[in-house]
Amino acid sequence: MTSLDKIVTEPKTGEERLICNNQSTEVKLIDFWRWSVSDIVSNATRGRFAEFIVATALNIDLNVVRDEWSAYDLISPEGIKIEVKSASYLQSWFQRNFSLISFSIKAARYWDSATNKQGKTMPTLDGAFLV
């Protein structure tokens, strides 16, 4: 069986052009970003945006691309592992009422992207900070 190592992603500028049939097109990566993540109120995008805000506040190196499958969202320059949670009373879709906000901090298992296996149980958080 062939072993396919995890792909190491490099930061993009947004100016990279899409290629079709080995020909550069007029479409740039920034066009995809604008199309796909402009709705920062959307649940999935809002979570990533919250991670970005925390990363910038903690001076985490933004030249290291976010790891979608890491056991933690961020690791501080001091080595502190951080799980960022985000919620909003308002959503992008029609609502009759404000959304209810709740978070679970119970122990959970994680997926290890380096081994492609389920990881061990993560410890329960001793303390949580809501900002």
- Asked if residue 23 is part of any domain, the answer here is no
SS3 content of the chain, % helix, strand, coil (to 5): 20, 20, 65
- Count the domains in the chain: 1
- Asked if residue 71 is part of any domain, the answer here is yes
**pTM reported for the whole predicted model:** 0.78
Alpha helices in 38-105 (DSSP H): 43-57
As to burial, measured by CB atoms within 10 angstroms (0-12 exposed, 13-18 middle, 19+ buried), residue 36 is exposed
For position 1, what pLDDT does the model report?
A: 61
Q: Which of 32-46, 69-83, 94-108, 116-130 has the lowest mean pLDDT?
A: 116-130
- Asked if residue 1 is part of any domain, the answer here is no
Domain extent at residue 115:
38-92+106-123
Write out pLDDT tens, residues 38-83.
999 998 899 999 999 999 999 999 999 998 888 889 999 999 999 9
As to burial, measured by CB atoms within 10 angstroms (0-12 exposed, 13-18 middle, 19+ buried), residue 88 is middle
